[in-house]
């Protein structure tokens, strides 16, 4: 048995580390956290200082048993990641393995290389309980918010929703940005470009100001017929461009999105693999600092590969003063290793990290910029011509960047110019840009909300929970006016341009708007930007020993819990944001647009009217609570629409349901997406119905009418079902030959279907 047992949280990390240690060391993995708060129930003793009730996860009991066996007679070294989460994993290991956290050896390293591991082994410490308490405070606070607030959303909005300290703020940001965009009114103006000639060389210059409407722009252009043009000022000055700092977690996520098209989660997954393989340093950090060893290695590589002129030592200041997650920027562990990674994505991300880190220690790029100011003899406005010539690539040699020279002809101050034509093109002011995953990360970081380890799971959660959708925007066609002054005459042309098109933008759903408005009104502290940032500062204070976690949680809970109690009095109709659209011309009943259990919908009649039940209709496609009109609603209340009948006389009805437009024949439902149920023809309906019957026939293998048991073809192969339970069929069994008794026997051994969402009853201690 090995004298020393090293425990890490990842099998890949274990394999890499074991290569660097001698036979006296055995490295094993805990496969992440081995203890946590149970998924069911609050499991926090509110009355006794918010004491958490941890348990060993069911899927980790075997691993804990194996680790206990391996630890017998061995010195245990806890080598989980160096951030708070890693510290918590180490502490939970001491509890599960019955080790003393005050004496068990704890080692940390920022990179998985032989020198780093050997240094860590030579300088062990013990578990930092203050870091553990900071992580525990985050875990408990988030459990309190989720456990007490989520059931409120189930009751007041719809089932299956969740709320969270960081995720709810992220959703609010997306919702408010979308509303800013919708309320934005674009203003048009004209950008004017003059084409000039000097010494038979053509160049362009832009008017120093934008012009107003079309009529005034035409008038302005016509007034130029007698104008003369002269250079009244010519400036040539050097300029420089400096490299950016090495990557932090958030800047890596942003740049990988911009340059590689990676999602935030994809970036972190790929970076994790590179770290565990020993290619890069730890990838969860808000520090931009490079170690002395890294600085020295970068200097040597740059001078050797590019020359001494390209090297400049730089150390960057970290924006987050606490920088608690790690103590160095993300960088390669070996600057001489130009390429690394087990697949193309790893290779691409490694290349980006390598180039960014190397560029951060290189000289500035230098340019010569020229600006010519061109006077219009009879106008106060001037034209500006700008040129730029790259003189020295500097860091751009490694990182890339704009290298195209914009060269102006040899101009002289006081020189007269010939004008070849002047073009005024209509432009429109742009609304605020929608968030992408990367820009949302940047905004959260700017506000001090969350930490490097929270960004990827937060953005993933708000999408999987249905608050936000990542989508491509097609844009809309807009008419653009272009006015050209040529040979003393203004000619007008119109072109069509697509505006608003974009890729992979975050769009809030209807439920996101309802939930955000509800939380802002009744739980303002949870979605307040300053409050959420303050909570992060409180976690930092706990990690630094300036505050106890019990005090911090108690202070939060005494303000939070009363809000949960008060929210019980809020009516569902108030939360639903009911908006009056107008009266039905036939019945006189009021029609409302409101949010229901399954999303936005339409309602005719008052819900308080006990004598007559209100009528409900789905929201028209492409409409929202704010944009739907009475005319839209009246069309929807015409549904279901009788399209016609089948050959055997069954009625075909068209309608819209939770999952979109459909037709119904007896008990058979057929999706008709993207056809509008108000316009679908009988021929189209019959064709879709026939295809549905053919698909169902291919799906059904056997059916036992007495028991209701069916044998069906599913996406993962044939299976048996009675509507309540499903049973898989082994590959060697022919599903067409299974008898009814055999089917019943297989079903009896199958597990019952689990409910997708289980409501939890909130405790109010």
Coil, helix or strand for 573?
Answer: helix
Q: Is the pLDDT of residue 597 over 80?
A: no
* Peptide bond connecting 647 to the previous residue in cis, omega within 30 degrees of 0: no
- Is the same domain home to 421 and 453? no
Choose the final residue of a domain: 548, 567, 586: 567
- Is the same domain home to 443 and 557? yes
Give CA–CA dist 81/30, Å, rounded.
Answer: 12
Instruction: Please check whether residue 82 lies inside any domain of the structure.
Output: yes
Instruction: Please check whether residue 306 lies inside any domain of the structure.
Output: yes
| pLDDT tens per residue across span 77-110 | 999 998 899 999 999 999 999 999 989 999 999 8
Q: Is the pLDDT of residue 228 over 80?
A: yes
- Is the same domain home to 208 and 305? no
Q: Note if the pTM is more than 0.85.
A: no
Coil, helix or strand for 496?
Answer: strand
Higher pLDDT, 408 or 435: 435
- Over the chain, what is the mean pLDDT? 89
H-run or E-run covering 391: strand 382-392
Give CA–CA dist 250/447, Å, rounded.
Answer: 13
- Per-residue pLDDT, averaged over 308-336, amounts to 80
Instruction: Please check whether residue 552 lies inside any domain of the structure.
Output: yes
Give CA–CA dist 491/488, Å, rounded.
Answer: 10
Instruction: Please check whether residue 493 lies inside any domain of the structure.
Output: no
Q: Is the pLDDT of residue 611 over 70?
A: no
Instruction: Please check whether residue 381 lies inside any domain of the structure.
Output: yes
Give CA–CA dist 140/682, Å, rounded.
Answer: 59
Coil, helix or strand for 16?
Answer: helix
Q: Are 26 and 15 in contact (CB under 8 A)?
A: no
- Is the same domain home to 18 and 111? yes
- Is the same domain home to 353 and 255? yes
| pLDDT tens per residue across span 148-202 | 999 998 888 887 888 888 999 999 999 999 999 988 999 999 999 999 998 888 9
- Per-residue pLDDT, averaged over 9-18, amounts to 91
DSSP 8-state code for residue 736: G
Give CA–CA dist 466/161, Å, rounded.
Answer: 8
- Per-residue pLDDT, averaged over 547-562, amounts to 94
Token pair, residue 437, equals: 């995953």
- Is the same domain home to 91 and 11? yes
Please list the active-site residues.
Answer: 282
Give CA–CA dist 126/118, Å, rounded.
Answer: 17
Domain coverage including residue 628: 576-636
Instruction: Please check whether residue 495 lies inside any domain of the structure.
Output: no
Give CA–CA dist 138/535, Å, rounded.
Answer: 9
Instruction: Please check whether residue 707 lies inside any domain of the structure.
Output: no
Specify the number of domains making up the chain. 6
- Is the same domain home to 457 and 534? yes
- Is the same domain home to 540 and 622? no
- Is the same domain home to 378 and 230? yes
User: Taking the CB of residue 439, how many other CB atoms lie within 10 A of it?
Assistant: 17
Which range is least confidently modeled, 229-233, 386-390, 401-405?
Answer: 401-405
Choose the final residue of a domain: 678, 699, 720: 699
Q: Is the pLDDT of residue 493 over 90?
A: yes
pLDDT given at position 757 = 43
- Is the same domain home to 556 and 592? no
pLDDT given at position 403 = 65
pLDDT given at position 451 = 82
- Per-residue pLDDT, averaged over 27-39, amounts to 92
pLDDT given at position 320 = 56
Instruction: Please check whether residue 163 lies inside any domain of the structure.
Output: yes
Output the domain CATH number for residue 229: 2.70.20.10
pLDDT given at position 324 = 45
Output the domain CATH number for residue 527: 1.10.460.10
Residue 699 phi/psi, 5° resolution? -80, -35
Which range is least confidently modeled, 445-449, 524-528, 608-612, 727-731?
Answer: 608-612
- Per-residue pLDDT, averaged over 337-364, amounts to 96
């Amino acid at each position: 048995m090995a004298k020393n047992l090293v425990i890490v949280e990842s099998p890949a990390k274990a394999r890499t580390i074991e290569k660097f240690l001698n036979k006296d060391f055995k490295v094993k993995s805990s496969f992440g956290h081995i203890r946590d708060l149970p998924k069911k129930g609050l499991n926090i003793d509110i009355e006794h200082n918010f004491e958490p009730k941890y348990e060993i996860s069911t899927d980790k009991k075997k691993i804990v048993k194996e680790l206990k066996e391996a630890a017998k007679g061995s010195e245990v070294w806890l080598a989980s990641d160096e951030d708070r989460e890693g510290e918590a994993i180490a502490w939970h290991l001491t509890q599960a393995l019955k080790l003393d956290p005050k004496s068990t050896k704890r080692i940390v390293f920022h990179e998985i290389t032989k020198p780093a591991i050997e240094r860590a082994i030579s300088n062990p410490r013990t578990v930092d309980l203050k870091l553990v308490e900071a992580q525990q405070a985050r875990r408990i606070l988030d459990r309190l918010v989720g456990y007490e607030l989520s059931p409120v959303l189930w009751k007041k909005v719809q089932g299956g929703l969740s709320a969270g300290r960081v995720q709810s703020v992220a959703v609010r940001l997306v919702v408010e940005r979308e509303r800013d965009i919708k309320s934005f009114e674009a203003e048009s103006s004209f950008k004017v470009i003059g084409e000039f000639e000097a010494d038979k060389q053509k160049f362009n210059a832009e008017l120093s100001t934008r012009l107003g409407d079309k009529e005034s722009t035409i008038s302005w252009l016509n007034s130029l017929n007698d104008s003369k043009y002269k250079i009244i000022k010519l400036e040539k000055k050097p300029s420089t461009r400096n490299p950016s700092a090495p990557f932090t977690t958030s800047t890596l996520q942003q740049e990988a999105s911009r340059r590689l098209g990676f999602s935030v989660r994809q970036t972190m997954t790929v970076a994790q693999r590179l770290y565990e393989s020993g290619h890069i340093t730890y990838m969860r950090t808000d520090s931009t600092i490079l170690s002395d060893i890294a600085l020295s290695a970068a200097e040597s590589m740059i001078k050797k590969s590019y020359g001494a002129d390209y090297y400049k030592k730089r150390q960057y200041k970290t924006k987050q003063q606490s920088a608690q997650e790690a103590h160095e920027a993300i960088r390669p562990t070996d600057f001489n290793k130009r390429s690394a990674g087990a697949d193309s994505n790893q290779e691409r991300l490694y290349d980006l990290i390598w180039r960014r880190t190397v560029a951060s220690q290189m000289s500035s790029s230098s340019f010569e910029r020229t600006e010519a100011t061109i006077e219009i003899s009879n106008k106060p406005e001037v034209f500006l011509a700008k040129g730029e010539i790259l003189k020295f690539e500097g860091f751009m040699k490694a990182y890339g960047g704009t290298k195209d020279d914009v060269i102006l002809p040899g101009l002289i101050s006081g020189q007269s110019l010939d004008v070849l034509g002047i073009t005024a093109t209509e432009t429109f002011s742009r609304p605020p840009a929608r968030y992408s995953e990367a820009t949302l990360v940047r905004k959260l970081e700017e506000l001090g909300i969350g930490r490097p380890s929270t960004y990827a799971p937060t953005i993933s959660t708000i999408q999987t929970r249905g608050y936000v959708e990542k989508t491509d925007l097609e844009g809309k066609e807009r008419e653009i006016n272009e006015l050209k002054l040529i040979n003393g005459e203004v000619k007008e042309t119109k072109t069509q341009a697509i505006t608003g098109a974009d890729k992979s933008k975050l769009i809030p759903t209807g439920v996101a708007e309802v939930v955000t408005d509800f939380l802002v009104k009744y739980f303002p502290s949870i979605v307040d930007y300053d409050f959420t940032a303050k909570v992060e500062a409180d976690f930092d204070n706990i990690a630094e020993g300036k505050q106890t976690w019990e005090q911090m949680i108690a202070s939060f809970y005494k303000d939070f819990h009363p809000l949960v109690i008060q929210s019980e009095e809020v009516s569902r109709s108030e939360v639903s944001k009911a908006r009056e659209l107008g009266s039905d011309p036939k019945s006189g009943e009021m029609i409302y647009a409101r949010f229901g259990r399954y999303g936005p919908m339409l309602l005719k009649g008052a819900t308080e009217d006990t004598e007559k039940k209100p009528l409900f209709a789905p929201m028209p496609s492409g409409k929202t609570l704010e944009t739907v009109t009475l005319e839209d609603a009246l069309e929807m209340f015409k549904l279901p629409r009788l399209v016609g009948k089948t050959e055997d006389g069954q009625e075909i009805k068209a309608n819209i349901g939770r999952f979109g437009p459909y037709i119904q024949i007896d008990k058979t439902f057929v999706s008709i997406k993207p056809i509008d149920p108000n316009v679908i023809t009988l021929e189209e309906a019959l064709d879709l119905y026939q295809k549905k019957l053919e698909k169902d026939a291919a799906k059904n293998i056997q059916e036992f009418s007495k028991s209701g048991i069916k044998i069906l073809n599913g996406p993962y192969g044939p299976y048996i079902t009675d509507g309540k339970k499903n049973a898989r069929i082994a590959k060697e069994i022919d599903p067409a030959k299974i008898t009814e008794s055999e089917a019943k026997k297989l079903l009896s051994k199958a597990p019952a279907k689990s409910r997708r969402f289980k409501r939890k009853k909130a405790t109010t201690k």
